[in-house]
Amino acid sequence: DGGITQSPKYLFRKEGQNVTLSCEQNLNHDAMYWYRQDPGQGLRLIYYSQIVNDFQKGDIAEGYSVSREKKESFPLTVTSAQKNPTAFYLCASSMAGPTDTQYFGPGTRLTVL
Amino acid sequence: GQNIDQPTEMTATEGAIVQINCTYQTSGFNGLFWYQQHAGEAPTFLSYNVLDGLEEKGRFSSFLSRSKGYSYLLLKELQMKDSASYLCAPLPNDYKLSFGAGTTVTVRA
Q: What is the pLDDT of residue A40?
A: 80
Interface test with A, best of B45, B96, B104 (most A CBs within 10 A): B96
Cα end-to-end distance, chain B, whole Å: 40
Q: What is the pLDDT of residue B69?
A: 96
Query: Is residue A39 within 8 Å of B104, Cβ to Cβ?
Result: no
Query: Is residue A23 within 8 Å of A74, Cβ to Cβ?
Result: yes
- Does any CB of chain A come closer than 8 Å to the CB of residue B41? yes
- Does any CB of chain B come closer than 8 Å to the CB of residue A39? no
Q: What is the mean pLDDT of chain A?
A: 93
Whether the pLDDT of residue B63 is over 90: the answer is: yes
Contact A48 B96 (CB under 8 A): yes
Q: What is the pLDDT of residue B105?
A: 98
Q: What is the pLDDT of residue B94?
A: 84
Interface test with B, best of A7, A30, A37 (most B CBs within 10 A): A37
Query: Is residue A34 within 8 Å of A76, Cβ to Cβ?
Result: yes
Whether the pLDDT of residue B1 is over 60: the answer is: no
Tell me whether strands B103-108 and B9-13 are parallel, antiparallel or unpaired.
parallel
Q: How far apart are CA A65 and CA A54, in angstroms?
A: 13
At B72-103, the pLDDT tens digits run 999 999 999 999 999 999 998 888 887 989 99
Q: Write b or e for each residue in B53-88: b if 16 or more Cβ atoms lie within 10 A of its Cβ, otherwise e.
A: eeeeeeebbbbbeeeebebbbebeebeeebbbbbbb
Q: What is the pLDDT of residue A35?
A: 96
At A54-68, the pLDDT tens digits run 999 999 999 999 999
At A46-55, the pLDDT tens digits run 999 999 999 9
Which ranges of chain A have pLDDT less than 50? none
C-alpha gyration radius of chain A: 13
Contacts of A108 (CB under 8 A, 6+ apart): A6, A7, A8, A9, A10, A11, A21, A88, A89
Torsion of CA B72, B92, B45, A111, to 10 degrees: -110
- Does any CB of chain A come closer than 8 Å to the CB of residue B57? no
Report the residue from B45, B96, B101 with minimal CB separation from A101.
B45
CA diameter of chain B:
43
Q: What is the pLDDT of residue A39?
A: 85
At B11-50, the pLDDT tens digits run 999 999 999 999 999 888 989 999 999 998 999 999 999 9
Q: What is the pLDDT of residue B98?
A: 79
Q: What is the pLDDT of residue A75?
A: 98
* B97 interaction partners in chain A (CB closer than 8 Å): 33, 45, 98, 102
